[in-house]
Amino acid sequence: MRILIVDDEPLARERLKDLIHQDGAHEVLETDNGLRAIELVQAQHPETVLLDIRMPGMDGLETALHLAQLEPPPAVIFTTAYNDRALEAFEARAVDYLLNPIRAERLREALSRAGVVGRGRVTGLRGADPARRPRTHISVREHGALQLIPVAAIRYLKADQKYVCAGWNGRESLLEESLRALEVEFAGRFLRIHRNAMVALEFVAGMEQRADGLFHVRLRDVAEPLPVSRRHAAEVRKTIRDAGTRK
């Protein structure tokens, strides 16, 4: 079996490698972060991922959420030092996990029954996590591969029928997510300017009123200003002004 260990602690990775090798002739890959883990899974196709939950940057639950969208996805076993309340959430959703310190027999048992963790299940786990953070990346499938879009690079989000169009780094990608869900998750980062559009406050260059009386928001690195609805105009103007005052 090819196994990928994902943990930001070198000593934890070494201990897991020792335990895995005690279990048999497995091929072991390792990395210290979620972004690299997704790259390795797509390139090396490990059957199983041992995934630490608490990591800086992209944590284990977000990493698992992206891995669940691969075809085929790897089996995921979480490693955790969670408290009892969070462990109850894991148990209720039948996700396998290893609680530190990990014992050899428990690892052997987990490897023998490791299963694929579906996207819906990981979403539920993230919702039950008391320390849940907004995602650092949003994933889309493009040309048969998983593309990760840094949330910090997104300039705008526009509803497009059943999809949301994300504008980032001069590109546009379609997300299978609702604008409302994105607004809730990333509250404070994006500003609603229209019922069908939000913009990243970080990239707002100003607001202008045209001859027809309608307002538009100008964004850095975006050629065309985006229209602001009359309903949102006053709040958008105030938010932009307040943001400029704080800089």
In a domain? residue 82: yes
Q: What is the separation of C-alpha 3 from the centre of its chain, rounded to a whole number of angstroms?
A: 22
Instruction: Decide if 138 is inside a domain.
Output: no
| In a shared domain, residues 115 and 33 | yes
Which pLDDT tens digit goes with each residue over 136-152? 999 998 888 899 999 99
**H or E, element range at 127:** helix 119-128
- Across the beta sheet with 226-228, the strand order is 204-209, 215-219, 226-228
pLDDT-based confidence at residue 94 (cuts at 50, 70, 90): very low
Q: Are strands 97-99 and 75-80 parallel, antiparallel or unpaired?
A: parallel
- CATH number of the domain within which 190 lies: 2.40.50.1020
Q: Which residues contact 161 (CB under 8 A, 6 or more apart)?
A: none
Residue 72 confidence (pLDDT) = 86
Q: Is residue 140 part of a domain?
A: no
pLDDT tens digits along 186-227: 999 999 999 999 999 999 999 999 988 899 999 999 999 999
Boundary residue ending a domain (128, 163, 197): 128
Q: Which residue is listed with tokens 């065309």?
A: 224
Question: Of 95, 112, 128, which marks where a domain is finished?
Answer: 128
Q: Give the pLDDT mean for 53-57.
A: 90
Mean pLDDT, the chain, whole residue set: 87
One domain for residues 114 and 169: no
Q: Which domain holds residue 201?
A: 152-246
Contact 121, 69 (CB under 8 A): no
Cis omega (within 30 of 0) for bond into 72: yes
- The residues near 113 (Cβ < 8 Å, ≥ 6 apart) are 96
Highest mean pLDDT of the ranges 83-92, 110-119, 126-135, 216-225: 216-225
In a domain, 139, yes or no: no
Same domain, 109 and 159: no
Domain for residue 14, yes or no?
A: yes
Flag whether 136 is in a domain.
no
Quick one: which H or E segment has residue 70? Answer: none
Average pLDDT of the segment spanning 59-82? 87
- CATH number for the domain spanning 60: value is 3.40.50.2300
* Co-location of 8 and 118 in the same domain: yes
pLDDT at 131 over 80: no
Q: Mark whether 156 and 65 lie in a shared domain.
A: no
Does residue 33 sit in the same domain as residue 122?
A: yes
Residue 185 CA to residue 157 CA, distance in Å, equals 13
Number of domains within the chain: 2
Question: Are residues 113 and 28 part of one domain?
Answer: yes
Q: Residue 213: its pLDDT value, please?
A: 87
Looking at the fold, whether 123 and 180 belong to one and the same domain comes out as no
The HSE-up count of residue 233 (CA atoms within 13 Å, CB side) is: 12
DSSP 28: E
Question: pTM for the full model?
Answer: 0.85
The three-state DSSP-derived secondary structure of 181-229 is HHHHHCECCEEEEECCEEEEHHHEEEEEECCCCCEEEEECCCCCCEEEC
Q: Rounded CA gap, 48 and 76, in Å? A: 6
Find out whether 97 and 90 touch, Cβ atoms under 8 Å: yes
Q: Say if residue 106's pLDDT is above 50.
A: yes
Q: Are residues 97 and 162 in the same domain?
A: no
Say which residue, 37 or 71, is predicted with more confidence.
Answer: 37
